Amino acid sequence: MSLLTVYRLATIAATPFASAVLNWRANHGKEDPARLAERMGESNRPRPRGRLVWLHGASVGESLSLLPLIDRFIQRGLEVLVTSGTVASARVLSARLPAGAFHQYAPIDAPKFVERFLDHWRPDIAVFAESELWPNIVAAVRARGAPLVLANARISRKSAERWRAVPGAAKSVFGAVDLCLAQDSDNAARFLALGARCVRIAGNLKFDVPPPPADSAKLAEFNGAIGARPAWAAVSTHPGEEDLVLDAHVDMAAQTPSLLTIIAPRRWERGVEIVEAARARGLTAALRSQESEPRRDVDVYIVDNVGELGLIFRSVGVVFMGKSLLPGGGGQNPIEPAKLGCAILHGPYVENFTEAYGELAAAKAAARVLDAASLARAAQYLLAEPARMRKMGRAAAETVERLGGASRGIMTAVEPYLAQMAVAQQ
């Protein structure tokens, strides 16, 4: 019995418990209680008429990377269904999806739920971001004859090694992909080694994503509250990193008592935990969810609302990108702050975004730090040297602009499938 057969049988056996698990997750903020049925393949929204493209991204970053493609598919007159698997991604997409596209939660990868989902939506083509391939979904899409495209394809060395440990399963899953459009040559080689049949290099789609928006009124209020205070931000931080950021604030505040440090954790629900860590250091801390703007007496301001990174990147000149200071991190996407002209700081562990950080470093638009002390020195220097900070920010914006264009290449690559869809509809 193959590993994928065992997996399929296990997901079938677990299906009766799905409702209880989803309710537990909803009670813990991990699912939307009003939309649990979508996770089981159901929907109260009718399928639109005409040709339907199904695009899927696992979470916030992967989903947002699809925005340039969504716009191009809509311009082609196609209906666009976008799925993701997290509450945060659903909230962000609800604010950023253009007219002509709509969001649903992706079904759990159990045959009953997947078939129910596909019976309802009947996608003409499926485009998944990065390496978000679930065995039952892949098999079901393949069985229905809809082309399956992996766009902005990326897989880490660690994940590729895990797949290589089960070569038969890897070949069945990756070999079912009709077209794999990799970000770069390294990722292309990994997908080929895992059994993908048709692999091309198309570039990184995230360079084409428009910068995160910000409400003009909220932005004016936020900037007004900051005023002339020197301010910097630590964004997409993970457990353990906030302690280092807070230590850096303490070091910096010894020279700059009016300093404001803004922290936007990757998991917004950890805001209270970060407030407690700040107060343990004798700092005044506040949550954005409880106070609309940072008061003058606030040292550390935690942005624990989803969808406000655009506000932060437009309000500060120096941004530290998290998930990069501790081993095993891999880094977070620096492209959004770069597009908005921020000078970028990051730790040494950015292997998930090697290309972006490498290009930014080559343009002297980003600087690497190793610990709390070096983070404090780098941020302090840039705040004290605004000309240098602005020069880094301009270099960052110019670099990511130069690296764009993947969406055009991806649309060219999928054109034969779109042409087949048009012929089939006639």
Q: What is the mean pLDDT of the chain?
A: 94
In this predicted structure, the answer to whether residue 426 has a pLDDT above a threshold of 80 is no
Structure tokens at 184: 């770069």
> What was the pLDDT predicted at 423?
67
Q: What are 318's strand-pairing partners?
A: 343
pLDDT tens-place string over residues 225-277 = 999 999 999 999 999 999 999 999 999 999 999 999 999 999 888 999 999 99
Q: Is 212 exposed, middle or buried (0-12, 13-18, 19+ CB in 10 A)?
A: buried
pLDDT tens-place string over residues 305-364 = 888 999 999 999 999 999 999 998 899 999 999 999 999 999 999 988 888 999 999 999
Strands (E), 250-308: 260-265, 285-287, 300-302
Name the 3-class secondary structure at 195. Answer: coil
The residue whose two tokens read 């130069």 is 402
Q: Quick one: CA dihedral 415, 416, 417, 421, positive or negative?
A: positive
pLDDT tens-place string over residues 23-50 = 999 999 899 999 999 999 999 999 999 9
The H or E element that residue 244 is part of is helix 241-253
Sequence-distant (6+) residues with CB within 8 A of 227 are: 296
pLDDT tens-place string over residues 45-81 = 999 999 999 999 999 889 999 999 999 999 999 999 9
> What was the pLDDT predicted at 268?
85
> What was the pLDDT predicted at 134?
96
> What was the pLDDT predicted at 221?
93
Query: What is the distance between the alpha carbons of residues 264 and 159, in angstroms, rounded to a whole number?
Result: 27
Model confidence, pTM? 0.84
Neighbours of 190 (CB within 10 A): 24
Query: What is the distance between the alpha carbons of residues 308 and 157, in angstroms, rounded to a whole number?
Result: 32
In this predicted structure, the answer to whether residue 1 has a pLDDT above a threshold of 80 is no
Name the 3-class secondary structure at 355. Answer: helix
